[in-house]
Amino acid sequence: MRNSKGNRPAVKKDRNIGEVITGVFGSIGRTTVRALRNLPNRALNFVKRKINDQRRKPKRKEMNKVYVLVGYTTKRSIDARYNTERNLMILRRGLLLIIFVLLLFICINAVVPYIDMEQYGKMFGIGDVEEMTSQDPFENVTVATVGEQNP
């Protein structure tokens, strides 16, 4: 029988659940076998590609990035890009240093009002710094030089 457009209607097969599950697991099995069979070749190609990439790169003698001129790139544009990256790195380091100093300053200002210096002085036995430094225990000690003997 043909429909109004003149095509044959699709014939539906009544498939039971067993055939559907078998088909799904068969598909999974085939793709797994294909993936495992291609695994050594893929690994080998990956290693070869990485080795070739390393061979193609110019040798680096310092930490700076080495640019390779490709296509229509000029040395002037490469130098400009290098200088831009260098300036951004300097700026980033400077800003990080400023942020660190500001955080340190804020932390110190937040903690100092809560510190009782008299209490710490009593704990360590320091009453007055001038009194403590007025009597130097090493004032009368002489140091023998090399070759001299003590009397």
Residue 9 lies in a domain: no
Report the chain's mean pLDDT, rounded to a whole number.
Answer: 81
| Three-state SS letters, the chain | CCCCCCCCCCCCCCCCHHHHHHHHHHHHHHHHHHHHHHHHHHHHHHHHHHHHHHHHCCCCCCCCCCCCCCCCCCHHHHHHHHHHHHHHHHHHHHHHHHHHHHHHHHHHHHHHHHCCHHHHHHHHCCCCHHHHHHCCCCCCCCCCCCCCCCC
Q: What is the pLDDT of residues 129-142, one digit of tens each?
A: 777 777 777 777 67
Residue 95 lies in a domain: yes
Residue 40 lies in a domain: yes
Q: Specify the pLDDT at position 117.
A: 77
Whether 37 has a pLDDT exceeding 70, the answer reads yes
Whether 112 has a pLDDT exceeding 90, the answer reads no
Q: What is the pLDDT of residues 45-103, one digit of tens each?
A: 999 999 998 888 777 777 776 666 677 778 888 889 889 999 999 999 999 999 999 99
Range of the domain at 28: 19-56
Residues 50 and 81 in one domain: no
Please count the structural domains in the chain.
Answer: 2
pTM of the model: 0.36
Q: Specify the pLDDT at position 30.
A: 92
Q: Specify the pLDDT at position 144.
A: 66
Residue 138 lies in a domain: no
